[in-house]
Homo-oligomer: A and B are copies of this chain.
Amino acid sequence: MCVFTFQGQIELFAKHTGFMWEIAEEFKAKIVFAEHRYYGTSMPFGKKSLDKEHIGYLSSAQALADYADLINFLQGNVVKPRYPVVAFGGSYGGMLAAYFRIKYPHVVVGAIAASAPIHMYPGMAPCGVFNRLVTSSFKTVDINCSNNIRQSWAVIRNYTATAAGQEVLSKSLNLCSPVKNATDLDKLMEFMQSMYSTLAMVNYPFASDFLTSLPAEPVRVVCQYLNETLAGEKLLKAIGKVVDIFSNYDKKNSCVNYKEGDDYGNLDAAGWDYQACTEMVMPMCSNGVNDMFEPQPWNFTTYSEECHKKYGVYPRPEMARLEYGGNRLQAASNIVFSNGLRDPWTGGGILDSLSDTVRAVVIVDAAHHLDLMPSNPSDPEPVKIARNIHKQHITRWINQFREQLMTTRKF
């Protein structure tokens, strides 16, 4: 039996995580996709779930308790469970899979934690690492690409200074509404920054509609428009082509709705935003030197005040570290942390094995949890190897469970 945990609409993840479907028969496994409370349609208070009065029941600890309850139910609510359960997850779901094994080692025999930024907490990873790795994805394709993007921010700002400039900008980027004021500009900048991050995250070797519809090797595709030094309107037009590929690869949108603020395509941003304001504090910053973004320092005080304004809560920056092991994950067992080197979240990942049973698998040429996706003719060799390693660990965990089952004390 396998349980796969993820934030967002569960159907999306069920569709895009073919690895488990593919190995299920071999392991004679039942596959269960459990939707995280407060995501998708799992809203405990319906439309009021995200209100201040009701959102307090959204936490990773409660989600894990839900999964434990669910598995207990599926095991038949017996004192001695008969079926080994393996947890799978990618991204935050990967963190949850690892946390599940840390907190409920008696419920799951092991966890495959793919692309889990489990060290992306205050004091544990440099705040600039994510943006540096996003940049690296673009720079690796062509240094002109990242340089042009770095130049583009000032150009965009310049063009918003006049009405004529606004029109050029709007037209070049095919925006649904012009950038008229500072608020609009902030939204556009956020949209652009999120776009580059997403492109790096889903830089898969095949066309995919996982977070948004994109061609194979999307970073390479967009960089072909930025492969020589550009400036002014020419640069804007090139960026416009990048935006068009990102927003309209499936030709469904007539213009770019940068105000929507849907940071990660298909993911539910609202629930995560609250969790980031309570337990999942992940410092992010940029300096425009090591990365291609505008300089933006990490300021916990501002961050904290904004959280309080939005939800009436102050974040607890040390909470996730305390609850889930921080730098002492070698105290746990039976966890595989896999990370693709194309994935910017790898900056918060475990890249070295910590013990005999807490293992790191580093995958060259792989983006965000590619190893959990359906196998594809375009898969790079390293991801095939990683999937085989996963299977070996799963086999070992299941055998261990079976041996223990036979030697456990009886009443």
Contacts of A77 in B (CB 8 A): 318
Contacts of A79 on B, CB cut-off 8 Å?
A: 123-124, 321, 326-327
With A72-B318, A321-B79, A327-B79 known as contacts, the answer to whether A105 contacts B332 (CB < 8 A) is yes
B103 touches A103 (CB 8 A): yes
B-contact 0/1 string along A62-81, CB 8 Å cutoff: 00010011001000010111
Is A102 an interface residue, CB under 8 A from the partner?
Answer: yes
A119 to chain B, nearest CB (A): 8
Indicate if A255 sits at the interface (CB-CB under 8 A): no
**What's the nearest-Cβ distance from chain B to residue A263, in Å?**
27
Looking at the complex, which one of B80, B102, B107, B322 makes contact with A72 (CB distance below 8 Å)? Answer: B322
User: How distant is the Cα of A205 from the Cα of B322 in the complex, in angstroms?
Assistant: 42
Chain B residues with CB below 8 A from A28, complex form: none
Contacts A77-B318, A321-B79 hold; do A352 and B409 have CB atoms under 8 A apart? Answer: yes
CB of A333 within 8 Å of the partner chain: yes
- Of B106, B326, B329, B411, which contacts A331 at CB under 8 A? B106
A98 to nearest B CB, angstroms?
12
Would you call B105 and A331 a contact (CB within 8 A)?
A: yes
Chain B min CB distance to A186 (Å)? 31
Q: Are A124 and B331 in contact (CB under 8 A)?
A: no
Closest to A110 in B: B331
Q: Which residues of chain A (326-380) have a CB below 8 Å from chain B?
A: 326-333, 351-352, 354
State whether the Cβ of A325 lies closer than 8 Å to any Cβ in chain B: yes
Question: Across the interface, do B330 and A408 meet the contact criterion of CB distance under 8 Å?
Answer: yes
Q: Give the CA-CA distance A72 to B352 in the complex, in Å.
A: 25
User: Taking the complex as formed, is A165 at the interface, i.e. its CB lies under 8 A from any CB of chain B?
Assistant: no
Chain B residues closer than 8 Å to A124, beta-carbon distance: 79, 411
We find that the number of chain A residues with CB closer than 8 angstroms to chain B is: 39
Asked if B103 and A322 make an inter-chain contact with CB atoms under 8 angstroms apart, the answer reads: no
A322 to chain B, nearest CB (A): 5
State A80–B331 Cα separation when bound (angstroms): 13
**In the assembled complex, A125 has its CB within 8 A of some CB on chain B:** yes
Whether A106 contacts B329 in the complex (CB less than 8 A), given A124-B79, A125-B411, A321-B79, comes out as yes
**A20 to B65 Cα, complex, angstroms:** 34
- Chain B, residue nearest A69 (CB): B322
Determine which residue in A69, A79, A318, A321 has the highest number of CB atoms from chain B within 10 A of its CB, and name it. A79
Complex CA distance for A69 and B126, rounded to whole angstroms: 24
- Give A353 Cβ to nearest chain B Cβ, in Å: 10
Query: How far is A342 from B159 in the complex, measured between Cα atoms in Å?
Result: 84
**Chain B residues with CB under 8 A of A331:** 105-106, 109, 333
Do A105 and B102 touch (CB < 8 A)? yes
A323 at the A/B interface (Cβ < 8 Å)?
yes
Chain B hits for A103, CB < 8 A: 103
**Apart from A102-B106, A106-B325, A124-B411, 7 more pairs, CB < 8 Å:** A79-B327, A81-B328, A105-B325, A105-B328, A105-B331, A126-B411, A328-B404
Give the B-binding residues of A (Cβ under 8 A): 65, 68-69, 72, 77, 79-81, 102-103, 105-107, 109, 123-126, 318, 321-333, 351-352, 354, 404, 408-409, 411
Show 6 residue pairs from A and B whose CB-CB distance is below 8 angstroms, ordered by the A residue.
A105-B331, A105-B332, A107-B322, A124-B411, A328-B404, A352-B409
